[in-house]
A and B are shown apart, each in its own frame.
Chain A
Amino acid sequence: MARPITVTVNGEQRTVEVEPRLLLVHFIRERLRLTGTHIGCDTTHCGACTVLLDGVPVKSCTVLAVQADGRQVTTVESLAVGGLHPIQEGFKQEHGLQCGFCTPGMMMSSFALLQEKPDPTEDEIRWALSGNICRCTGYMNIVKSVRYAAQKMKAAAAVPVEAGARS
């Protein structure tokens, strides 16, 4: 019954035998032990399990691991490279999390949003995150966190240009 799949998770290619019915979230959490991706509802509503599949946010509780065969999966564990990612920094600076359970999914949805829209409005942020439920914060500080990240990423993107102009 088990069949091999090859998935690139956070840049690392892995070939693993899985049951066809294994959910992607269980593959990530139990097989790879990447426990930053959480399970909140099992029915695609809460978004705690959000990861990126080929750069697009999906609820990994309703995707089969075999559907990720030959594709790229990105989880919260990949965000910090060297230092914190601006999104992570934003969530801390703007108090965008409390219990932290929704936070990884929330950050992955935010990441996808900022790839598509580097300078989103409040309504665009709220719409993009409306598939991610937070029970603690009331979303106001999450919106601020995403804005913080957008500003920071914009500033970072501007740096090399300036440096180049000076030299």
Chain B
Amino acid sequence: MAIDTPPKGFIGESIKRKEDDRFIRGKGNYLDDISLPGMLHMSILRSPFAHARIRSINTKPAEAVPGVVAVVTGALLEQHKLAWMPTLSGDTQAVLATDKVRYQGQEVACVIATDPYVARDAAQLIDVDYEVLKAVVDPYQALKPGAPLIRDEKKDQKDNHIYHWEAGDKAATEAAFKKADKVVSLETFYPRCHPSPLETCGIVADINPATGQATLYMTSQAPHAHRTLFAIVAGLPEEKIRIISPDLGGGFGNKVPIYPGYVVATAASLLLGHPVKWIEDRSENLISTGFARDFHMQGELAVNKDGKFLGLRVKMLSDNGAFYADAQPSKFRAGLFHIVTGSYDLPAAHVETDGAYTNKAPGGVAYRCSFRVTEASYLIERLVESAAVELKMDPAEIRLKNFIRPEQFPYKSATGFEYDSGDYPRALKLALEKIGYEQLRKEQAEKRKRGELMGIGVASFTEVVGAGHGTEYDIAGLRMFDSAELRVHPTGKAILKLGVKSQGQGHETTFAQIVAEELGIPASDVEVQEGDTDNTPYGLGTYASRSTPVGGAATAMVSRKLRDKAKKIAAHLLEASEADIEFDHGKFFVKGAPSKSKTIQDVAFAAYTNLPEGMEAGLEGVTYYDPPNMTFPFGTYVVVVDIDRGTGQVKVRRMVAVDDCGVRINPMIVEGQIHGGLTEGFGIAFMELITFDEEGNCIGSNFTDYLLPTSWETPRFETFDTVTPSPHHPIGAKGVGESATVGSPAAYVNAVIDAVGHLGITNIDMPVSSDKVWTALQEKGAAE
């Protein structure tokens, strides 16, 4: 009878997740589950107006409520120089408003009370006298002369313009456009949406007044970077700050920035000597914390008659809200939007970006994307669709004609990236084969004859993820490396500590598998810890799909470091020369004699009990990994839709996704990431929208208005893979958490346009709702 051995969890094995055992029992430990003795509760009073001057604030009625301990205003914070804080993009942001409110939902005052209900009641009793000012909600209007000045507190700010940034070669691009047979253009708006993790943001700040020790439990995707920023912002000594990011109920970029609520709760705990908890309700989350996108984009593609692309020209205006608080590498004003050349061999490209202040919430986080790659991918994939329609070419054929060819890697792009590896035709061809493309085109042609609307949308995205290298990429000056510390105990069990932080991605399993592969210790014997700055090495955190490219690489490298030492110990145990020792998945043996071997567990025990002469005891190490380059995951998504001419309703019939994220560590987890991304992409394409009326009132401030996909309307996905390893990553992995959100919106929208393009409809901006589709059909006389 065969003995059923449990899987070791090497790379490529879909082992079940280690973290699930607590979650399925309701024993996770999320921020709101933390309750400390003597803990007080904070509630924030927010501005009802988008733009208004504060004449006065009367806090007395709130202070009189039994149970209220303190009311904090901007004036009070100003005395401690805390009324303003720096943003991740080098701007400033009001912690609590002192002079004006600049968006609806801005933080005006905070009540700290013994009970959360009391804190809320009392906040409503604060009397704020506002002088309402004209709100600016459109970024183009904001940049017009005479527009109300939003940031009048900034000495040198004379208008609402924030930045101008360019990439690529303007002259070469102009020359390419002159040569071209045709210019295809597309103007499109990628609307404001919100990551909306199911758990909102929050903090429990606990400062011991006697020792000055600050323990901050925070919903943080980047606890180490937040510790340093807290030290700088609040003037607290960094060695006294311990940030603990507990289990996170999703993040998707929303938990990257530092929010005013964190700062006030921390200051309140310091002043009051009690722990203070603040956790957002859903409306606070939607109206005030890190939104995403809000890019107005104009793209032009220079093409020849045969469909060959010669150049790309892009102008983009970013609506940044009242404070420029984008979370992105400091040298790049519009994030990595200049990846907009996508999967195509474009000899020339030029990208011009500008940012504008408006009376809207600040943030500009990347909602499940690597610093604005989503907007870039959307624009180029929509533009390629437009080119196919105008040239009457098949959208798959025009892509195949213009892809960067496999032999061109490493490929230097016209905007300055060096793509590490790729095989774009293979992914596209696989997607077409899996969906049965030719047959679908025949079906579409027949349906079109009958007046039925069916569309097939293709998108072939390329991402850039895994920042750094540190010389090029930094957040607020902090180089974007990441770290791993590995300790192997005498019994052969190990503990791995990381600078990144899972929000549901399954790090406790995936990173244990990297150790299993490199050292042979079963993944079940490797405990993975993250999120506690006192107990993990410094890292920049988890966002922009950087955990596997950077933290995963650090894990592989530290494992190899330990393996080198283990080899020396094994040689000692086997009484052989180190040069003759070979290693295979946890076993050390003398070359040619695999039967006589020592296991990694034998070696670990010897590291504490039986060492070679002169060797330091122990088997542990730490690695700080600064990647030589980014990684470039890619893939092709194909969507089939049917559209009802009577209602404009779009039904996604099929969605085939081929993803190439390099080597897959745990294919089950990778597929789960892709399912999630395809769903969020579906939501963005068809449902999710934060918009504003003329007065700057936020529409989309709760889940009645901000629509998220449920199990009912979410399509069924068919997922496939190709594997093109990253040549510079130690295990060839590229990162996958965001690919599907980046790549899928264009595929969904291209499918809609493919269904209605023959009627002369060239664009429908997201979210592609039934009413928009029906109106577009009606305008062309095609609605029923």
B492-508 residues with Cβ-Cβ distance < 8 A to A are 503-506
A-side interface mostly: loop
Asked whether, in the complex, the Cβ of A46 is within 8 Å of the Cβ of B703, the reply is: yes
A8 to chain B, nearest CB (A): 18
Q: How far is the CA of A45 from the CA of B717 in the complex (A)?
A: 24
Tell yes or no: B249 within 8 A of A by CB: yes
B287 to chain A, nearest CB (A): 13
A51 to chain B, nearest CB (A): 11
Instruction: Name A141's contact: one of B199, B675, B678 (CB within 8 Å).
Output: B675
Q: How far is the CA of A138 from the CA of B35 in the complex (A)?
A: 32
Q: At the interface with chain B, which of A30-38, A65-73, A153-161?
A: A30-38
Size band of the interface chain A makes with B:
35 or more
- Could you mark each residue 19-48 of chain A with 1 if its beta carbon is under 8 Å from any beta carbon of chain B, else 0? 101100000011001111111111101101
Q: How far is the CA of A22 from the CA of B249 in the complex (A)?
A: 24
Tell yes or no: A97 within 8 A of B by CB: yes
A119-142 residues with Cβ-Cβ distance < 8 A to B are 125-127, 129-142
Q: How far is the CA of A79 from the CA of B249 in the complex (A)?
A: 21
B-side interface mostly: loop
B6-39 residues with Cβ-Cβ distance < 8 A to A are 16-17, 19-28, 30, 32-33, 35
Chain A residues, CB < 8 A from B503: 99
Asked whether, in the complex, the Cβ of B680 is within 8 Å of the Cβ of A135, the reply is: yes
Asked whether, in the complex, the Cβ of A45 is within 8 Å of the Cβ of B704, the reply is: yes
- Could you mark each residue 91-105 of chain A with 1 if its beta carbon is under 8 Å from any beta carbon of chain B, else 0? 111010111111110
Q: How far is the CA of A48 from the CA of B198 in the complex (A)?
A: 8
Asked whether, in the complex, the Cβ of A101 is within 8 Å of the Cβ of B30, the reply is: yes
Tell yes or no: A88 within 8 A of B by CB: yes
- Could you mark each residue 506-532 of chain B with 1 if its beta carbon is under 8 Å from any beta carbon of chain A, else 0? 100000000000000000000000000
B234 to chain A, nearest CB (A): 28
Tell yes or no: B672 within 8 A of A by CB: yes
Asked whether, in the complex, the Cβ of A135 is within 8 Å of the Cβ of B24, the reply is: no
Tell yes or no: B250 within 8 A of A by CB: yes
Q: At the interface with chain A, which of B268-276, B625-633, B705-713?
A: B705-713
Asked whether, in the complex, the Cβ of A92 is within 8 Å of the Cβ of B680, the reply is: no
Asked whether, in the complex, the Cβ of A143 is within 8 Å of the Cβ of B24, the reply is: no
Interface size on B, residues (CB 8 A): 55
Kindly report which residue of chain B lies nearest to residue A23, judged by CB atoms: B117
Known: A48-B198, A130-B710. A98 touches B676 (CB 8 A): yes
Q: How far is the CA of A134 from the CA of B712 in the complex (A)?
A: 12
Asked whether, in the complex, the Cβ of B717 is within 8 Å of the Cβ of A41, the reply is: no
Most B-side CB within 10 Å, residue of A34, A41, A107, A135: A135
Chain B residues, CB < 8 A from A35: 26, 30, 32-33
Tell yes or no: A75 within 8 A of B by CB: yes
Asked whether, in the complex, the Cβ of B702 is within 8 Å of the Cβ of A41, the reply is: yes
B537-574 residues with Cβ-Cβ distance < 8 A to A are none
Chain A residues, CB < 8 A from B30: 35, 38, 101
Asked whether, in the complex, the Cβ of A95 is within 8 Å of the Cβ of B17, the reply is: yes
Instruction: Name B20's contact: one of A100, A126, A129 (CB within 8 Å).
Output: A100
Tell yes or no: A52 within 8 A of B by CB: no
Q: How far is the CA of A27 from the CA of B199 in the complex (A)?
A: 19
Chain A residues, CB < 8 A from B247: 99-100
Asked whether, in the complex, the Cβ of A97 is within 8 Å of the Cβ of B23, the reply is: yes
Instruction: Name A91's contact: one of B20, B35, B710 (CB within 8 Å).
Output: B20
Q: How far is the CA of A137 from the CA of B506 in the complex (A)?
A: 12
Chain B residues, CB < 8 A from A98: 250, 504-506, 672-673, 676
A136 to chain B, nearest CB (A): 5
Instruction: Name B676's contact: one of A34, A93, A135 (CB within 8 Å).
Output: A135
Asked whether, in the complex, the Cβ of A77 is within 8 Å of the Cβ of B26, the reply is: yes
Q: How far is the CA of A67 from the CA of B710 in the complex (A)?
A: 28
Tell yes or no: A80 within 8 A of B by CB: yes
- Residue pairs across A and B with Cβ atoms less than 8 A apart, 18 shown, are A19-B117, A42-B283, A45-B703, A79-B25, A80-B25, A92-B17, A98-B505, A98-B673, A99-B503, A99-B504, A100-B20, A126-B712, A129-B710, A130-B710, A133-B708, A137-B672, A138-B672, A142-B711
- Which are the 5 A-B pairs with shortest beta-carbon distances? A36-B26, A99-B504, A101-B249, A100-B23, A138-B675
- Given A76-B26, A101-B250, A139-B714, 5 other A-B residues pairs in contact with their CB atoms under 8 A: A84-B25, A99-B250, A101-B198, A101-B249, A133-B710
Binding site for B on A (CB under 8 A): 19, 21-22, 29-30, 33-43, 45-46, 48, 75-77, 79-80, 84, 88, 91-93, 95, 97-104, 107, 125-127, 129-143
